[in-house]
Chains A and B, each alone.
Chain A
Amino acid sequence: MSVLVFAESLTGSIKKVAQEAVAYGYQAAKAMGTECFALTIGKAEGAAELGKIGATKVYNVAASNDFDAQVYASIIAQAAEQLGASLIVFAHSSSGKSLAGRLAARFDGGLASAVISLPTVSGSNIVVRKSVFSGKAFANYELSGAKNVVTIAANTFRPEAVAADAIVETLSISANAGRVKVKSVNTVTGVVPLPEADMVVSAGRGMKGPENWGIVEELATVLGATTACSRPVADVHWRPHHEHVGQTGVAIRPTLYIAIGISGAIQHLAGVNQSKVIVVINNDPEAPFFKAADYGIVGDLFDVVPKMTEAIRKLKAQN
Chain B
Amino acid sequence: MKILVCISQTPDTTAKIKFNAEQTQLDANGVQFIMNPYDEWYALVRAIELKEQLGGEVTVIHVGTVANDPTIRKALAIGADNAVRVDSEASSSLFTAKQIAAYAKGENFDIVFFGKETIDYNGSEVPAMVSELLDLPYISYGTEMTVAGNIATISRDIEGGKETVELATPFVISAAKGMAEQRIPNMKGIMMSKTKPIKVVPATANVNTSNIVKYEYPAEKKGCKMISADNIDELVSLLHNEAKVI
Contacts and interface: CB of A to CB of B under 8 A. Distances in A.
Give the secondary structure class of B's interface. mixed
B165 interface: yes
A135 B218 contact: yes
A25 interface: no
Give the contact-size bracket for chain B: 35 or more
A31 interface: no
Given A242-B161, A266-B13, A307-B232, A296 B212 contact: no
Contact of A101 (B129, B143, B165, B238): B129
Given A280-B224, A296-B225, A223 B246 contact: yes
Interface string B175-192: 011100000000000000
Given A69-B131, A296-B226, A132 B214 contact: no
B104 interface: no
B225 A113 contact: no
Interface stretch (B48-56, B59-67, B79-87, B203-211): B203-211
Interface in A263-302: 266-267, 270, 276-277, 279-280, 290-300
B138 A185 contact: no
Contacts of B138: 69-70, 98, 102
A291 B221 contact: yes
B177 to A, nearest CB: 5
Contacts of A279: 235, 239
Nearest to B133: A105
Interface in B57-116: 93-94, 97
B128 A248 contact: no
A252 B93 CA distance: 23
Interface in A110-153: 110-114, 127, 129-145, 148
Interface of B: 11, 13-14, 17, 19, 37-38, 93-94, 97, 119-133, 135-141, 143, 153, 156-168, 171, 176-178, 207-218, 221-222, 224-229, 232-233, 235-240, 243, 245-246
13 contacts: A10-B158, A102-B132, A104-B94, A112-B123, A137-B215, A137-B217, A144-B211, A180-B139, A187-B158, A242-B160, A294-B222, A294-B224, A299-B229
Shortest beta-carbon contacts, A-B, top 7:
A101-B128, A193-B160, A299-B229, A187-B161, A113-B123, A102-B132, A193-B159
Given A69-B131, A270-B119, 15 more contacts: A98-B140, A99-B128, A104-B209, A127-B213, A132-B120, A133-B17, A140-B214, A180-B139, A183-B165, A187-B162, A242-B157, A242-B160, A248-B176, A297-B232, A304-B229
